[in-house]
Amino acid sequence: MNRRRVFVIILVLSLFPLFVLSLYAEGSEVHGADSIFKHEGLTLVWATLKGQTEEETVVYLSITKTSPLSDKYSFYRVLAVDPFTGDTLEETGLEILKRENLVLRKRLSFYDYSGRRLHFYSTRDNFEQGKPDLIITYFGVPDTAPEITTREGVLEYLVQTTKRVSGE
Domains and CATH numbers, the chain: 27-166 (2.60.40)
From first CA to last CA, the distance across the chain in angstroms is 61
Q: Which amino acid is at 63?
A: I
Please report the pLDDT score of residue 168 as a whole number. 67
pLDDT in tens, 10-58: 433 443 333 333 344 457 999 998 999 999 999 999 999 999 999 999 9
Please report the pLDDT score of residue 26 as a whole number. 57
pLDDT in tens, 55-92: 999 999 999 999 999 999 999 999 999 999 999 999 99
Tell me the pTM. 0.82
Backbone angles phi, psi at 154, to 5 degrees: -65, -50
Please report the pLDDT score of residue 56 as a whole number. 97
As a whole number of angstroms, the distance between CA 76 and CA 18 comes to: 27
Please report the pLDDT score of residue 95 as a whole number. 98
Please report the pLDDT score of residue 101 as a whole number. 98
Query: Average pLDDT in the 126-155 region?
Result: 97
CB atoms within 10 A of CB 134: 21
Task: Report, in this order, helix, strand and coil percent for the chain, each rounded to 5.
Answer: 35, 35, 35
As a whole number of angstroms, the distance between CA 150 and CA 40 comes to: 31
Please report the pLDDT score of residue 3 as a whole number. 55
As a whole number of angstroms, the distance between CA 121 and CA 105 comes to: 22
In eight-state DSSP terms, residue 153 is H
